[in-house]
Amino acid sequence: MLLCALIGFLLGPEIPPLRVPRVAGFDLMQFVLPRVRASQPTIIVDIDEASLATQGQWPWPRTMMARLITTIAAGGPAAIGVDLLMSEPDRLSPTRLPALVGGMDADLAERLQRLPSNDAVLADALRALPVVVGMSGLDNVEPTSAMSGLRAAPVRAFGGDPRPYIRRFTAALKNVDEIDRAAPGHGLFDVNLEGGVARGVPLVAAVGPTIVPTLGLEMLRLVSGEPTITVQTTRRGIRAIGVGDLLVPTQPDGSVWIHYSRSDAARVPAADVLAGTVSPLVFDRKLVLIGVTARALSDYQPTPVADRMPGVEIHAQLLEGMLEDDLLSRPRWTLWLEAALAAAGGLVLIWAVPVLPVWLSAGILLLALGVPLALALALYLKLRILLDAVWPVVTVSAIFTTMLGVSLAEAKGQRRILRRQLARQREAAARLAGELEAARRIQMGSLPKPTVVFPGEKRFDLYAFLAPAREVGGDLYDFFAIDSDRICLLIGDVSGKGLPGCLFMTMSKSSFKSVALGRPGDVGAIMRETARQISRDNAEGLFVTLWAGILDVATGQLEYCNAGHDPPYIVVRRGQGIERLAAGGGPPLCVLEDWEYAAESHRLNPRETLYLVTDGIIEATSADGELYGRKRLETLLAGLEPDADVSELGEAIRRDVMHFAEGVEAADDLAILVLRWNGP
């Protein structure tokens, strides 16, 4: 019970008490074994404390930002990402200075009004450059006019609309429209914060109805020259996101786990770039990110490898992971693997602790603890897959502690109880076996024999056979004389097997015979009355298929009714085909109350043979799992010699079915009834 509960917690909806130790384990692996950089595709232009001390307080004039970007662009970078938000007009623009500086000369103020704004200068610098500007998603905020008109690369979705699965924002805070409109690329800054730690980044998110890529993905789009972002969606969420030939597998919500390296990204101070002391070759074919790292500006987030990491470096780590194919992933199957490890370890301990010495059980415990830990470490190092070893370890430890306590407290008493139970079970099994054998003898002895019921009869020949699948069964057949010229025969199959089926079969057969002899007449009326009688005492809700017929042996007129049973076959001559009496009848008895069963009739010709079987014949199974089937039976019947003795015909069916199902335990009872009318 404890193991099932723990596995249920693992496979059920993820809850914070389960999530916290899981991500802590993932963080520990990154902290101890961080990513080792294979290349240096990114470089950060760092607006740090020294740059602020040199160039002045933040925010800098947009003209300075334009000069910084054009200086970087002169080095031929692949793309430039601006991890800054300029959502308000520059207060240091020439048109705004007269209001800031009191007593300014009117002529000077007029000349300042004719100059372009700082925002326009920056916008002009951006138009011809591969620059991505950012925006920040906002939750539970009504969009304003300043937030409207989002610009984002179009998304080409495969497999369905990705918006139901990705992170959603009601609005976004973007740069002033003049700057935003001039930039060729637009991306989101936002990272996923869980428990205050930045572990992943959504590659795309929805701002209202618009799908917007993250800053790093948009930079790669500009580098590739692709006009669109590709999103592959399945029924379970997002499968992959990419641009051009680069396709990045994602989590179902479109996010990726960053595989962090130590905080040693390549950086150059912005002040040095503006001063011209940095060689332009530093930026050649690099992905350049401009961001603020000055501590006073608070653009820092905790990560698995550092308590404080600048937001611009998180985007740089994401870019490196995508380009080096070195992101972490947690596929859906890892959850099932974790459950399997926990279940396997728990089951082994459940078995081992009660029967093995304590020292050996402790050794198995260490093995059960080591396997998930080793597997998690191997998957992380080799395949960059996150496997949670914490929950299997907790599960196995809890099972061991519980089992050890219970086993040590109850070992001796349990052995005594088991010995007494075993003795009682053996006694009960022997008694039950004897009772079932007696029931089998009674059931088989109650079946009529043609030579006993119709001694010396020449007008018809009859063969009957029944073999229960267990000691007793639910198939039935019966035949008896109504008067000197009419006989009744029936065959049926009870829905149950074993002893319940046997008892219900006996009751059904007895009820039908009692009704048929007590009120001779239409077989449909007999079937209706029989259904009413056995329904009254049907506490287990069983039902029975039944085919019954009354044959006038003087004329060959057969009146019959079928209650859900397999229709019988009539064979006249070999090669002339076979006929089925498929008309008439209704559902099995005790399925629908007060069903008006109606009789049908058929006149037999002399020497015609009637074959009746139960579904144990049709559904017999071979060792290869193949069903005997109705077609095989019909082929057999069509090939039999019609003039052969009916016992030979019935035995031919029985032998063919037994040979077909040789070596397979019978799953259903089977019964065969063969009647040939020889004529008046």
Name which of 425-439, 531-545, 662-676 the model is least confident about: 425-439
Q: Do residues 586 and 599 touch, judged by C-beta distance below 8 A?
A: no
Print the SS3 string covering 108-121: HHHHHHHCCCHHHH
**What DSSP string describes 53-95?**
HHH-SSSPPHHHHHHHHHHHHTT--SEEEE-----S--TTSGG
In this model, does residue 204 exceed pLDDT 90?
yes
The residue ranking higher by pLDDT, 94 or 344, is 344
In this model, does residue 575 exceed pLDDT 90?
no
Q: Which of 136-140, 416-420, 534-538 has the highest mean pLDDT?
A: 136-140
675: tokens are 């009647």
- The mean of the pLDDT values for the chain is 85
pLDDT of residue 560: 92
Q: Which of 108-112, 241-245, 468-472 has the highest mean pLDDT?
A: 241-245
CATH topology assigned to domain 450-677: Phosphatase 2c; domain 1 (3.60.40)
pLDDT of residue 65: 92
Report which of 548, 580, 543 is spatially closest to residue 561, judged by C-alpha positions: 548
pLDDT of residue 9: 66
The residue ranking higher by pLDDT, 441 or 138, is 138
End-to-end CA distance of the chain: 72
Report which of 569, 565, 578, 660 is spatially closest to residue 614, judged by C-alpha positions: 565
In this model, does residue 487 exceed pLDDT 70?
yes
β-bridge pairing 131-138 and 185-188: parallel
Report which of 206, 224, 219, 197 is spatially closest to residue 318, judged by C-alpha positions: 219
List phi, psi (to 5°) of 518.
-80, -35
- Tell me: the pLDDT tens digits for 263-296? 766 889 999 999 989 998 999 999 999 998 887 6
Convert 19-32 to b/e letters by CB count within 10 Å (16 or more is b).
eeebbebbbebbee
β-bridge pairing 229-234 and 237-243: antiparallel
List phi, psi (to 5°) of 21.
-65, -30
520: tokens are 């001779």
Mean pLDDT of 22-35: 89
Q: Name 550's bridge partners.
A: 488, 559
Domain ranges of the chain: 1-32+335-446, 36-323, 450-677
- Tell me: the pLDDT tens digits for 123-165? 999 998 999 999 998 887 777 655 567 889 999 999 999 999 9
Convert 156-194 to b/e letters by CB count within 10 Å (16 or more is b).
ebeeeebbebbbebebbbbbbbbbbebbbbbbbbbbbee
Q: What's this model's pTM, rounded to 2 decimal places?
A: 0.59
- Tell me: the pLDDT tens digits for 172-187? 888 998 999 999 999 9
Q: Name 609's bridge partners.
A: 571, 676
Q: What is the torsional sign of CA 212, 213, 214, 218?
A: negative
Percent of the chain at pLDDT exceeding 70: 91
In this model, does residue 411 exceed pLDDT 70?
no
pLDDT of residue 110: 67
Name which of 374-383, 491-500, 524-533 the model is least confident about: 491-500
Q: Judging by beta carbons within 10 Å of its beta carbon (0-12, 13-18, 19+), is residue 617 exposed, middle or buried?
A: buried
